[in-house]
Amino acid sequence: MTTLVLSHASSLAHETPPGHPERIDRIKAVNAVLNAPAFRSVLRKDAPLGTDAHVLLAHSLEHVQRIRGVAPEQGFEYIDTDTVMSLHSLEAALRAVGAATAAVDAVFRGEADNAFCALRPPGHHAEHNRAMGFCFFNQAAIAALYARDRYDAERVAVVDFDVHHGNGTQDIFWSDANSFYGSTHQMPLYPGTGSRSETGVGNIFNAPLRAGDGGEAFRAAFDGVILPALSAFGPDLVVISAGFDAHVRDPLGSLELTEEDFAWATLKLMDIADLHASGRVVSVLEGGYDLQGLAGSVGVHLHALLHGETLAMGPANDNDDDDDEDD
């Protein structure tokens, strides 16, 4: 199996204020995993710069103009209390968009079986006309809609296992019957959306979890809600909003997933992609704010994409002290 990993140095240049959870160290941790000997066989490419035309597949022109207009030449510019831009943030966000569209190109042209976009900032909170929750542009939604626009994919799907509900993807897909959104997430939690009653035009499938839920509840939600609906939808492309902040170590949520749960979910989504989408999977990094939990989860996720099997991992150890950034 051929896996493409897209990344770019701009992810290391998108600065946030001291103490902000969406920090440069996240990508340093991810890059350390990507550079491990176990992943020498992956294809590696620098992410191209996304274009306004790509962004406009999912966002309004007003939104694009607003983000460009507030991008600072020095210091920080706060879009809201959580979402902040610095000098290189706009490029980082556009590289994340470019990675998503390049990943779609690769899987539809047969250059790779699947792809992982290892960039920041995340995107799944960005709505059609609003940036929020650390997110400027919604690269998962853009990837799905780009596949429809460029490759005439009839049905496209985004599945999201971030601890936070992807309100932005839901907003963008809400009235689009040919776009599927499925999400497991903690509720109640930021951003306050994601109830089972939020169904769009029958294309939105939310499976909220409660604080303290672990792998058993997560897998039951996937097996009982997300996977049957996704299989019935029959996607031509599966996009994963791969947020790893549902990990038991993560400071921004209270779910208790482990690396094995993320590997299991990845393989389940790959199975459906094999049945309906010629194996085409594009994974986009979203959350994950404990560095050890993030690194371990990315490792098993990438191993699953590359080998189609799980990677045995030891249990998470909450007593490890090698990540004090979130204390």
Going along the chain from its start, the domains and CATH numbers come out as 3-307 (3.40.800.20)
**DSSP state string for 172-197:** HHTT-TTEEEEEEEESS-TT----TT
pTM of the predicted model, to two decimals?
0.94
Please write the tens of the pLDDT for every residue from 139-195. Answer: 999 999 999 999 999 999 999 999 999 999 999 999 999 999 999 999 999 999 999
> Do the beta carbons of residue 219 and residue 264 sit within 8 Å?
yes
Give the pLDDT confidence score for residue 319 in this predicted structure: 39
Mean pLDDT of the chain: 95
> Do the beta carbons of residue 275 and residue 236 sit within 8 Å?
no
Catalytic option among 59, 125, 276, 303: 125
Q: Is 14 a catalytic residue?
A: no
Q: Is the pLDDT of residue 127 over 80?
A: yes
Q: Is the pLDDT of residue 269 over 50?
A: yes
Closest to 11 measured CA to CA, from 71, 99, 80, 74: 99
Local confidence band at 312 (pLDDT 50, 70, 90 cut-offs): low
Percentage of the chain beyond pLDDT 90 is: 94
Mean pLDDT score, 224-250: 98
Q: Is the pLDDT of residue 326 over 70?
A: no
Closest to 276 measured CA to CA, from 144, 99, 156: 156
In whole angstroms, what is the distance from residue 47 CA to residue 50 CA?
9
